[in-house]
C-alpha cells in the first residue's frame, strides 16, 4: 500500500516531541503539508527544523499556541484557518493517588486532554464537511479502557475522548469525513521515561527499568516492551489517508495487545 497525502494540510497538536513528532514526520513523509504545534514558539520552530532534516522537501509550518487557553487556540486558528487532517495528540499525564486528586487537577486534565480536541473539531469539522473530505484522529490510550489505579484522572479523560470521537463521527455521517481514535499502548517517549522512574528504582539502567515497569505496572502487554512512537504514527497516517475511507467512529488499537479484548 502507498499512502499519498499530497495537497492535504494537517495539524498535529502537541507535536514538538514524542508521539506527536513521529506523527508529524509520518504525515510529512506521505506528502502532506504539516503544521507543527507546541506551546512555546521557539521550541516549535526548532521542531520544524528537526523535521526538515528528517524529511527532505517536507512542506512544514509552525503553529505555536497553548491550545488549553482561548488565546492560544485563537493563535493557532488564525495561523491555520482550515485543515484537511486534524490529529488531536496534545495531552498530559502523571501519577497521583486517587484520593489525592483535587478538583483543580481534575478540571485541568479534562480541559487539556478533552476540551482542546473538542474545540478544534468544532472549528475545523464544518469546513471538512463542506469540502466533502476530511480526517480527524484523536489519540486516546489503553488507559481509556484499563483505568490505571495510579492515574484515574488521566484514564477518565481518555475514556471521554472515545465518546467525543464516536459522537463527532455521527455528526459527520455521510459527508466523506471520518473521525476515529487511536488507542495507544504504553509508548516510549521522554515523558514516559520520567513517569517510569517515578514508579521504579531511579538507579536502574533504562532497559532494566522499562522491564520492571512493564512487569509490575503493565503486565497485560503482549509485546512486553514499550511501543515506539513510529508504531503509533503508522496507524495515524493510514487513518489520515484515502485508504481508510470506510473506517469511522472507531477506536483502533496500537496497544501491543495490552487491552484484554478480542474486539477493537
Please give the Cα distance from 70 to 23 (Å, whole number).
25
The b-or-e profile of 81-116 (16+ CB within 10 A means b, else e) is eebbbbbbbbbebeeeeeeebeeeeeeebebbbbbb
Using 50 as the pLDDT threshold, list the residues of the chain that sit under it: none
Question: What HEC string does the chain produce?
Answer: CCCCCCCCEEEECCCCCHHHHHHHHHHHHCCCEEEECCCCHHHHHHHHHHHHHHCCCCEEEECCCCCCCHHHHHHHHHHCCCCCEEEECCCCCCCCCHHHCCHHHHHHHHHHHHHHHHHHHHHHHHHHHHHCCEEEEEEEEHHHCCCCCCCHHHHHHHHHHHHHHHHHHHHCCCCCEEEEEEEECCECCHHHHHHHHHHCCCCCCHHHHHHHHHHHHCCCCCCCCCECHHHHHHHHHHHCCHHHCCCCCCEEEECCCCCCCCCC
3.40.50.10190, 3.40.50.720, 3.30.590.20, 3.40.50.2300: which CATH number matches 9-187+227-254? 3.40.50.720
Please give the Cα distance from 73 to 92 (Å, whole number).
17
pLDDT of residue 261: 86
Pairing of strands 9-12, 177-184: unpaired
* Cβ contact 53:21 at 8 Å: no
| Phi–psi pair at 51, nearest 5 degrees | -65, -35
Instruction: Determine which one of 109, 154, 217, 258 is catalytic.
Output: 154
pLDDT of residue 107: 98
CA-CA distances (angstroms) from residue 179 to 79, 135, 170, 240, 247? 23, 6, 9, 10, 8
Read off the C-alpha cell for 133.
Answer: 473530505
pLDDT of residue 263: 81
258 tagged catalytic: no
Read off the C-alpha cell for 165.
Answer: 470521537
CA-CA distances (angstroms) from residue 161 to 58, 63, 256? 30, 23, 20
Domain boundaries defined on the chain: 9-187+227-254
pLDDT of residue 262: 86
* pLDDT more than 90, % of the chain: 93
Quick count: other Cβ atoms within 10 Å of Cβ 264?
A: 9
pLDDT of residue 237: 98
Amino acid at each position: 500500500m502507498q499512502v499519498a497525502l499530497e495537497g492535504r494540510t494537517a495539524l498535529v497538536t502537541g507535536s514538538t516531541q514524542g508521539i506527536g513528532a513521529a506523527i508529524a514526520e509520518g504525515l510529512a513523509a506521505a506528502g502532506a503539508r504539516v503544521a507543527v504545534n507546541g506551546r512555546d514558539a521557539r521550541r516549535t520552530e526548532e521542531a520544524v527544523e528537526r523535521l526538515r532534516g528528517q524529511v527532505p522537501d517536507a512542506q512544514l509550518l509552525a503553529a505555536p499556541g497553548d491550545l488549553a487557553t482561548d488565546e492560544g487556540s485563537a493563535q493557532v486558528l488564525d495561523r491555520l484557518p482550515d485543515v484537511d487532517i486534524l490529529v488531536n495528540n496534545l495531552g498530559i499525564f502523571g501519577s497521583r493517588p486517587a484520593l489525592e486528586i483535587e478538583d483543580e487537577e481534575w478540571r485541568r486534565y479534562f480541559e487539556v486532554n478533552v476540551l482542546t480536541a473538542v474545540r478544534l473539531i468544532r472549528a475545523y469539522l464544518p469546513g471538512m464537511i463542506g469540502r466533502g473530505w476530511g480526517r480527524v484522529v484523536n489519540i486516546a490510550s489503553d488507559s481509556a479502557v484499563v483505568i490505571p489505579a495510579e492515574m484515574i484522572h488521566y484514564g477518565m479523560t481518555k475514556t471521554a475522548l472515545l465518546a467525543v470521537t464516536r459522537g463527532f463521527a455521527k455528526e459527520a455521517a455521510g459527508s466523506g469525513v471520518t473521525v476515529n481514535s487511536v488507542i495507544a499502548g504504553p509508548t516510549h517517549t521522554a515523558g514516559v521515561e520520567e513517569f517510569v522512574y517515578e514508579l521504579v528504582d531511579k538507579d536502574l539502567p533504562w532497559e532494566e527499568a522499562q522491564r520492571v515497569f512493564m512487569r509490575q505496572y503493565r503486565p497485560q502487554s503482549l509485546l512486553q516492551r514499550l511501543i515506539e512512537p513510529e508504531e503509533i504514527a503508522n496507524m495515524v497516517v493510514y487513518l489520515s489517508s484515502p485508504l481508510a475511507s470506510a473506517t469511522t467512529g472507531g477506536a483502533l488499537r496500537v496497544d501491543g495487545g495490552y487491552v484484554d479484548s478480542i474486539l477493537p
